[in-house]
Amino acid sequence: MANDGIAKTLEELKKQSPERKFKESIELAINLKDLDLSDPKNRVNEEIVLPKGRGKDIAVAVIGTAELKERAKKAAKAVYGPEDISKFLEDKRGFKRLVNKFDFFVAESTLMANIGKSLGQILGPRGKIPKPIPPGQDPVAMIASLGKTVRARSRDKRTFHIPVGTRDMKDEDLEENISAVIKRLTSKLEKGYGNIESIYIKTTMGKSFKLEMGDNK
């Protein structure tokens, strides 16, 4: 998709959307077509690294042994140890609330089997199964990458939303992020643009603005 169409839509969005007293996100609303989304293999489930980042801090939690926790504590929002897994299992309601506070989880690979068995039913449906990291590996780079990552998940709905940055980001940075998301999605869909009915851009509380796809394929 050529950036001129995205640039014009972003310009119109910012012109017509009043500024808020908080940092608004900018997101894409993707409408799919000609896909049987009752079949899981046809659903969109991608993690996309935004080249210009998300424009805000992303909460990453780490589950690991003492060495990994020590290395991760300055980069992660929170760190937990193996003993916390059983605590989470004992208080599933509390763990569900905890999970909602984080965008991503990272876990030492040796703990993944236990986490999957104990907590997979909570983490899986929320798309938050931890990213495994080998024992002894520095987790900072992975945490930094996750800080720029967004999820694109359609589940069984033809419309889904993807954050692509914040309103205070430069237009050219938002354009690059949006282009990267659309390129990734169309590369994964069976018919590419043929499986996209429409794409809209909106701020958190603003109205939607349609991207004209015809000249941008």
Contact indicator for 51, 177 with CB cutoff of 8 Å: yes
Go through the chain and tell me how many residues it has: 217
Do 64 and 142 fall within a single domain?
yes
CATH number at residue 188: 3.30.190.20
Beta-ladder partners of 163? 27
Domain that holds residue 128: 60-146
Q: What is the pLDDT along the chain (217 residues), one digit of tens a residue?
A: 446 789 999 999 988 887 888 889 999 999 999 999 999 999 999 999 999 999 999 999 999 999 999 999 999 999 999 999 999 999 999 999 999 999 999 999 999 999 999 999 999 999 899 999 999 899 999 999 999 999 999 989 999 999 999 999 999 999 999 999 999 999 999 999 999 999 999 998 888 999 986 544 5
- Domains held by the chain: number: 2
- What CATH number corresponds to the domain at position 94? 3.40.50.790
Q: What is the pTM of this model?
A: 0.84
Say if residue 69 is in the same domain as residue 46: no
Of residues 104, 98, 101, the one with CA closest to residue 143: 104
Read off the tokens for 92: 């599933």
State the alpha helices, DSSP H only, in the chain.
Answer: 3-16, 66-72, 82-90, 92-99, 112-123, 140-146, 171-188
DSSP-derived secondary structure letter, 193: G
Whether 39 and 67 map to the same domain: the answer is no
